[in-house]
Amino acid sequence: MRTRTVLDAATIESLLAAAVAAPSIHNTQPWRFRLDHDSQVLEVRSAPERTLPLTDPTHRAQYLSVGAAVFNLRLAAVHLGWRPDVRLLPDHRDPGLLAAVRLTGPLDPDHEPSDSGLYQAIARRHTSRMPFTGRPVPEPIVAEMTTAAQAAGARLHVPDFAGRRRLLRLTAAGEARNHSHPDRAAETLAWINAPGADSSYGIPASALGPPDAGRRIPMRDFTGPRSVVHRPALFFERHIQLALLWTPHDRRDDWLRAGQALQYVLLTATAHGLRTSLLHQAMEWSDLRDAVAPPRHKRCHPHMLIRFGYGPDGPGTPRGPGDCAA
């Protein structure tokens, strides 16, 4: 247990390494960090140069990504013996400041011990875009994922057969629209790194997956019709396991909470040996996003469709340095 009360360089490095390991849309890593040494407040800011104006004009997906990074930061702080006091959108005059994490004194001895399984999962979690085995995930694990989402201020809906079909249909509609929209397709393609390219941002072509030969699961085709990376189709799991992450409100702070919840769910799944991938295409068109809400769920504001199951691990993707401006 830590006894010092001043953040040292090694601690800051560990905190930032955990934060930047979070998932982000197209691996844009749309965050920046600034540490105020006097107050020991770590600011998490948006990185306006790494946004997606066409795919994410409202910045909701950017906030989800930043929320996921904030969750990792909290988890790492507790793991290292610090108490993180997180404030979302702490200053309305400074819209680029998305969260402020004050790291205060040592954790109380009776404080809940940090969950080291979740902390270890930060580095192990990778998006896996390959077919899963289809082996059913035991109900207690799904219940734990649902509890995790709720603890972070969001909800997880696990649809039945008809609900899954409806969500996949809407995702396929989003995918088709993205494909036939030349400017959006070009925006996405710009974040795919050709084999051998040396970039700290964007998705390496080697991390992309094949299309589903059974045409049931609309995995995102990041490279579009002019693809130079040809991947033969493979048969994906017949019984896809899906969960829909949503919040009861749709404000900027809800998006940050949804991002934290997303990461809590993904790490919980990873800690249990599951693999995950994300299907966000329907959320990128406002009419489809509205249609994603389960019927009779008037207050459901959907954020993400999470595919989970057993299968091959995804490859690691690069990260920027996670520097911290003083």
Ligand X SMILES: Cc1cc2nc3c(=O)[nH]c(=O)nc-3n(C[C@H](O)[C@H](O)[C@H](O)COP(=O)(O)O)c2cc1C
Rounded least distance, CB 142 to ligand X, Å: 21
Rounded least distance, CB 182 to ligand X, Å: 19
Give the closest residue to 265 by CA, choosing from 246, 240, 284, 288: 246
Tell me whether residue 23 or residue 322 sits nearer to ligand X (CB atom). 23
196: left (phi over 0), alpha (psi -120 to 50) or beta: left
**In Å, how far are 7, 21, 138 from 17, measured between CA atoms?**
15, 6, 32
Which contiguous run of DSSP H or E holds residue 177?
helix 161-180
**20 near 323, Cβ under 8 Å?**
no
Tell me whether residue 79 or residue 126 sits nearer to ligand X (CB atom). 126
Q: What are phi and psi of 123, to 5 degrees?
A: -80, -25
Tell me whether residue 32 or residue 220 sits nearer to ligand X (CB atom). 220
Rounded least distance, CB 317 to ligand X, Å: 4
Tell me whether residue 143 or residue 229 sits nearer to ligand X (CB atom). 229
User: Which residues of this chain interact with ligand X, rule CB under 6 A?
Assistant: 23-27, 61, 64-65, 68, 126-127, 129, 203, 220, 277-281, 314, 317
Distance CA 148, CA 273 (A): 16
Distance CA 71, CA 211 (A): 31
Cβ neighbour number for residue 274 with a 10 Å cutoff: 21
Rounded least distance, CB 147 to ligand X, Å: 21
Distance CA 25, CA 51 (A): 9
Distance CA 36, CA 8 (A): 13
Tell me whether residue 280 or residue 301 sits nearer to ligand X (CB atom). 280
Q: Which residues pair with 234 in a beta bridge?
A: 212
Tell me whether residue 57 or residue 105 sits nearer to ligand X (CB atom). 57
DSSP symbol at 273:
T
Cβ neighbour number for residue 223 with a 10 Å cutoff: 18
Tell me whether residue 157 or residue 220 sits nearer to ligand X (CB atom). 220
Rounded least distance, CB 30 to ligand X, Å: 9
Rounded least distance, CB 38 to ligand X, Å: 32
Rounded least distance, CB 28 to ligand X, Å: 8
309: left (phi over 0), alpha (psi -120 to 50) or beta: left
Q: Which single residue brings its beta carbon nearest to ligand X?
A: 23
